[in-house]
Amino acid sequence: MIAAYLDAFVPAFGLLLLGAFLKRRLLRDDAIWAGIERLIFWVLLPSLLVVAIGGVRLAELPLAGMLAAIWSSLAIGTLASVLLARAWRQPHAAMTSVLMGGIRFNNLIGFAVAGAMFGAPGLALGAIATGLIVPFVQVVTTTAFALGRPGRLRLWPVLRQVLLNPLILACALGFLVAALGGLPAGIGPLLRSLGQASVALGLLAVGAALSLATLRDKPGLQLATAVLKLAVMPGLTLLFCRILGLDPLPTAMAVLFMALPTAATSYVMARAMGGDAPLMAAITTSEHLLAVITLPLWLALVAA
């Protein structure tokens, strides 16, 4: 069992450390990492989602149960994030960063661990969990940023931004492919090759984006947000999965993906859409550091 955990977590977190090293020693140009991030976001990760979701038999999966457990936890996490920011008397920009720290997730770590621990079935259910988390999170965070802009909230620009998100498009395409019986010959291996590249490159890019220098920004709020994301959210998910009677593997994948630290792209969103970018960078770094401890513990708990 110990060897299995080492095989799952040492590569995932080792790639994060390597990415941080490469950014500071070998590939210091920010433009290089920006290009890698765009490649992952628009091509590689969508390919992984299409292949993983498209290869499952939807009728045999507990979609309704996983959706109920994950969305219920996300709804509570959204409310808790807003209340947390208000308790610290933070402005709207900082609230959006706390919100992203509370409900967004780094699915690349999830896929690395799920594939190593549970193989193809774990990857497939991890993709299903991603397909359920991404739409909810994207709608909530996009709406939160829109509410901070002057003037009346306009529904169509918010919906347009959500619907054109490549991860949402990939999830929708994956479900359609699964309903139609799978990918055609030749296309499946092509997308699978692209998807396999997303995990290693993605974790390197995440590691490059982390910075210990950011940890001085509002450490109390960072810690509270990390507790919400890394402890409360997976705990709620596990509770709902048990109440709904989900089988062990769907439960494990739902909890694993809800226990992940926030996405490194949260900093890019905060900077581009008017959030508190320094606070977002701090939350992203602290959650990834703490996840080294919390993520194996959650996986051991659901395995038990």
For residue 263, the domain's CATH number is 1.20.1530.20
46 with 163: CB under 8 angstroms? no
pLDDT at residue 150 tops 80: no
pLDDT of residue 1 exceeding 70: no
The predicted structure's pLDDT at residue 176: 94
Q: Is it the case that residue 229 has pLDDT exceeding 80? A: yes
Question: What's the number of CA atoms in the CB half-sphere (13 Å) around residue 246?
Answer: 27
Tokens for 36, please give them: 């890698």
pLDDT tier at 290 (50, 70, 90 boundaries)? very high
pLDDT class of 268 with cuts at 50, 70, 90: confident
CA atoms within 13 A on the CB side of 54: 24
Burial class (CB in 10 A: 0-12, 13-18, 19+), 11: middle
Q: How far apart are CA 37 and CA 39, in angstroms?
A: 5
Least confident of 25-34, 100-109, 265-274: 265-274
Token couple for 114? 């799920």
**Distance between CA 160 and CA 135 in Å, rounded?**
13
Segment 234-251 mean pLDDT: 97
Of the pLDDT bands very low, low, confident and very high (cuts 50, 70, 90), residue 271 is confident
pLDDT the model gives residue 65:
96
pLDDT tops 80 at residue 2: no
Q: Residue 39 has which token pair?
A: 């490649």
Share of the chain above pLDDT 70, in %: 99
Task: Report the domain count for the chain.
Answer: 1
As a whole number, mean pLDDT of residues 31-53 equals: 91
Q: Is the dihedral of CA 170, 287, 284, 30 positive or negative?
A: negative
Mean local confidence (pLDDT), 67-90:
97
Assess whether pLDDT exceeds 90 at residue 165: no
Sign of the torsion formed by the C-alpha atoms of 118, 119, 123 and 124: negative
Question: pLDDT class for 46, splitting at 50, 70, 90?
Answer: very high
When pLDDT is averaged across residues 94-112 and rounded to a whole number, the result is: 95
Which pLDDT score is estimated for 29?
94
pLDDT for position 236:
98
pLDDT at 174: 93
R_g (Cα) of the chain, nearest Å? 18
Rounded to the nearest integer, the mean pLDDT of the chain is: 91
pLDDT of residue 274: 82
Query: Taking the CB of residue 173, how many other CB atoms lie within 10 A of it?
Result: 15
Mean pLDDT of 216-228: 93
The CA distance from 142 to 172, in Å, is 19
More confident residue, 159 or 176: 176
Per-residue pLDDT at 44: 92
Please report the DSSP string for the chain in residue order. -HHHHHHHHHHHHHHHHHHHHHHHHT---HHHHHHHHHHIIIIIHHHHHHHHHHTS-GGGS-HHHHHHHHHHHHHHHHHHHHHHHHHTT--HHHHHHHHHHHH---HHHHHHHHHHHHHHHHHHHHHHHHHHHHHHHHHHHHHHHHHTSSS---HHHHHHHHHT-HHHHHHHHHHHHHHHTSPPTTHHHHHHHHHHHHHHHHHHHHHHH--GGGGGS-HHHHHHHHHIIIIIHHHHHHHHHHHHT--HHHHHHHHHHHTSPPPTHHHHHHHHHTS-HHHHHHHHHHHHHHHHHHHHHHHHHHH-
What are 53's two structure tokens? Answer: 């979701």
> Does the pLDDT of residue 272 top 80, yes or no?
no
Cβ neighbours for 39, distance < 8 A, ≥ 6 positions apart: 201
State the residue range of the domain holding 243.
Answer: 2-303
72 band by pLDDT with thresholds 50, 70 and 90 = very high
Q: What average pLDDT does range 56-64 have in this prediction?
A: 87
User: How high is the pLDDT of residue 102?
Assistant: 97
- Residue 157: per-residue pLDDT: 79
